[in-house]
Amino acid sequence: MEVKKKDRKFLSALKKVYEGVTGLPKSTNALEVRQLCNDYIRKAFSHSNFQIKGSEYLPYEKNSIFIYNHLNNHPYYTEDEGFQITLDSHFISSLILEKYYNDSGIRVVRHSLPEEVNHKAYYERLNYIRVYSKNYIPEGLKKEEIITINKSFYAQAIDHLNQGSGMVFSPEGNSYPTNSSPGIFRPGAFKLACMMDPQPLIVPLVLANFDQLSSKSTFKCEIKPPFRLSDWGVTNSDDDSFLEAVNTLNHQYKKWVMDLKSEENGFEGEIAALEDKIKIHKQKDNSVVFYGSSTLRLWKSTEEDFPNANILNLGFGGAFIDSLSEYFDRLFRDIVPKTLVLYLGGNDLSLDLSVEQIFNDIRSLILKIHRKFPEAIILNLCIKPSLERAHQLQKIATINRMMMEESQKLFYLKQIDFYHTLLNDGKVDPQYFLQDGLHLNKKGYKILRNALKPHF
């Protein structure tokens, strides 16, 4: 097994998680322990490559049930005497729930076996809900005791959800390699949902590659649209439809995991879907084409918002400026737009590029578009401020100002400014954003529509 410096750094950081949690004074309460644990976990994952997709699907309600397919750790990531901190569940608590809800939620953790001293020392400090897992039953424990303790899970879980905290739960009760994930779903998490009125949202988190070395893979998490079992016609766990729904979700999960694992870091899947979209677009000449990253991809109402225009939305999620440039000729092979609406540059802020680099890259793509379509008008939407990028507001404002100055030199370019409309007293106004603080909600898209409308 080839272990690189990156893996050693990651393991060292994981050991600090274990030592930090177990070494705290006994007077430290569980909430403080979890907070410190989350801080250590974030530092550990800073030594790895990871990807979170679908944050736009995070619900506003944090008291939801977040389910995930539980993956093995790579054997190298063993902190102490056989003990491993489960990477996937800690990742969810710290890099999703804590980040987006300021609350890491409550996890469900199996009871330790008598010989698992480190496991016991670690999880007792975190004070999560404990249950007995099938493959980890101490000798001599009566079946009645196991049933009674496991049934108490429901009361504890309902209490936490009613208090406004999320539940992080793997329906399998065991961990698996990515290639054979998930295992068979057990009904516990779904029975819990049926016991509550109203039913809580269930948020599927799909995981891949947490069983790999960090130096050889990217840890992946994709958030899928949340649902209630009642959306599937399930109101009671005794109904025949209950087990059918659980099994259907179980099978769907297998496809999701394989798709996520096999997906390239590029955009081939999305580009192929856009090519299919172009093929069925009836009037390819004189189109108004929206081209850019997820701010455009998620603008589902473009045709309704501009009913008199021949709209073709070619936004794709996570696109960088160079991605848009790379796929431009391929996507615009059979299209002759009269207007292009661009949104780009926001994702490039994560690449640690200078203001000048991002401005020059935007300008280069605009010049490339003009050379291909000299008659087309280009409407460039300013980079929006967002809660996710609140620390980069000055940088965003500077790029927008530079683009406004550039638009005054080029007759075919109009810079669309709505930056300050999304602010309140100089700060990003959360009323315009989804739960992830990055993507716009309906109110946010109304701002964009109103900013663009005079130019149509």
Q: Using the predicted structure, report yes or no on whether residue 1 has a pLDDT greater than 80.
A: no
Tokens 């208090």 sit at which residue?
163
Q: Using the predicted structure, report yes or no on whether residue 321 has a pLDDT greater than 90.
A: yes
| Alpha carbon distance 33, 14 (integer Å) | 15
**pLDDT tier, 264 (very low <50, low <70, confident <90, very high otherwise):** low
For residue 181, count other CB atoms closer than 10 A to its CB.
26
CA geometry: angle at 410 spanning 404 and 414, to 5°? 50
**pLDDT > 70: what percent of the chain?**
99
Amino acid at the residue 419: Y
Q: Using the predicted structure, report yes or no on whether residue 271 has a pLDDT greater than 70.
A: yes
The CATH T-level fold of domain 268-455 is Rossmann fold (3.40.50)
> Under a CB-based contact definition with an 8 Å cutoff, are residues 189 and 67 in contact?
yes
Q: Using the predicted structure, report yes or no on whether residue 150 has a pLDDT greater than 90.
A: no
Query: Which tens digit of pLDDT belongs to each residue from 119-129?
Result: 999 999 999 99
127 conformational bin, left if phi > 0, alpha if psi -120 to 50, beta if neither: left
Bridge pairing between strands 202-208 and 167-169: unpaired
Least confident of 53-67, 80-94, 143-157: 143-157
Domain 268-455 in the same topology as domain 5-262? no
Calculate the average pLDDT of the chain: 94
Compute the chain's Rg from CA coordinates. Answer: 25
| Alpha carbon distance 307, 131 (integer Å) | 56
**pLDDT > 90: what percent of the chain?**
85
Per-residue pLDDT, 70 = 97
Per-residue pLDDT, 60 = 95
What residues contact 110, with CB distance under 8 A and at least 6 apart?
Answer: 130, 131, 132, 133, 136, 173
Per-residue pLDDT, 265 = 55
Per-residue pLDDT, 125 = 93
Over residues 94-109, mean pLDDT:
94
Q: Using the predicted structure, report yes or no on whether residue 61 has a pLDDT greater than 60.
A: yes
* Beta partners for residue 83, in sequence order: 80
| Alpha carbon distance 388, 397 (integer Å) | 15
Q: Using the predicted structure, report yes or no on whether residue 287 has a pLDDT greater than 90.
A: yes
Q: Using the predicted structure, report yes or no on whether residue 135 has a pLDDT greater than 80.
A: no
Instruction: Kindly report the pTM of this predicted structure.
Output: 0.90
For residue 135, count other CB atoms closer than 10 A to its CB.
9
Q: How many residues does the chain have?
A: 456
What residues contact 428, with CB distance under 8 A and at least 6 apart?
Answer: 385, 386, 387, 390, 393, 422, 437
The CATH T-level fold of domain 5-262 is Glycerol-3-phosphate (1)-acyltransferase (3.40.1130)
Q: Using the predicted structure, report yes or no on whether residue 211 has a pLDDT greater than 60.
A: yes
Instruction: Quickly list DSSP for 373-410.
Output: -TT-EEEEEPPPP-STTGGGHHHHHHHHHHHHHHHTT-
Q: Using the predicted structure, report yes or no on whether residue 111 has a pLDDT greater than 90.
A: no
* Cα-to-chain-centroid distance, residue 409: 39
Per-residue pLDDT, 349 = 95
Phi and psi at residue 337, to the nearest 5°: -75, 150
- Please, how many CA atoms are within 13 Å of residue 101, restricted to the half-sphere of its CB? 22
**pLDDT tier, 318 (very low <50, low <70, confident <90, very high otherwise):** confident
* Beta partners for residue 168, in sequence order: 66, 107
Query: Which tens digit of pLDDT belongs to each residue from 170-194?
Result: 999 889 999 999 999 999 999 999 9
What residues contact 199, with CB distance under 8 A and at least 6 apart?
Answer: 193, 228, 229, 230, 235
Amino acid at the residue 266: G
Amino acid at the residue 141: L
Query: Which tens digit of pLDDT belongs to each residue from 345-362?
Result: 999 998 989 999 999 999
Longest dimension (CA), the chain: 83
- Domain spans, the chain: 5-262, 268-455
Per-residue pLDDT, 266 = 67
Instruction: Quickly list DSSP for 116-132.
Output: -HHHHHHHHHHT-EEE-
